[in-house]
Structure 1
Amino acid sequence: MQVEVPLLRYEDIVGTPAPHNDHYRTAKIRNRVEQALQFKAERTNTTKPNGLLSAQEVKDICQLTRSAGELMREVYEHYQLSMRGYHKILKVSRTIADLNGHDLIEEEDIAEAIGYRLGK
């Protein structure tokens, strides 16, 4: 006698998708960017984009926490970054820190910027 085994439904295998909050909706991104720009303006009294900062402005504006500074030093030495590459990572880190509402650039901000810059 042959027993028929019912096939599993796809949902039985992978489960039902959990409802999620779509963080990538245009309105949410726009709101987050506007908040970051306001945070930056209050922090620096300027609206100049981080990407256009001069070398002296990078030194003045891109202040790091101790752990972020240690990470940046390790990356600088390990990858033998040029001054240009170093400044690019700091500028991107400052933007990420603004998006995250950090007064100082934190280790997580540096790590994310390094991932974008070095593709790691």
Structure 2
Amino acid sequence: MCICTCWAGGRSGGRQDRTQVAILQGGGNPKAVSYYENLLKTTAQLLPFEDKAAKAYARLRLDRSLRAPDAMQLACAATAGVDLFITNDTRLHSKQVPRIQFIVPLDRVPI
């Protein structure tokens, strides 16, 4: 599993990224936060949001139906060579993103 990092303000290694923050909010449930922190540390590869991803992000944002956080995730995944993007956000399933072959919900992943 790859999770793209999207620095909130520049490239400072000490800052949490938006993706991680969104996952770890957990509705104020400390047990859930702890679970997801451990899950990220042991199963995820965090990918930096770098110049290539920024350029891809700018192209994706030309599609105004894509929200900024979604465009960041897709741009980072595409530039990292991720060809299977798993999301339950049905608005993204029909999107065509260069270098990403499939955008599918978890229940359609052929595992």
Report which of the two structures shows the higher radius of gyration computed on alpha carbons: 1
* Structure number with higher helix proportion: 1
> TM (normalized to structure 2)?
0.31
Taking CA–CA contacts closer than 8 Å with sequence separation of 6 or more, which of the two structures ends up with the larger relative contact order?
Answer: 1
From the two aligned structures, give the one with the greater strand fraction: 2
- TM-score scaled by structure 1? 0.29
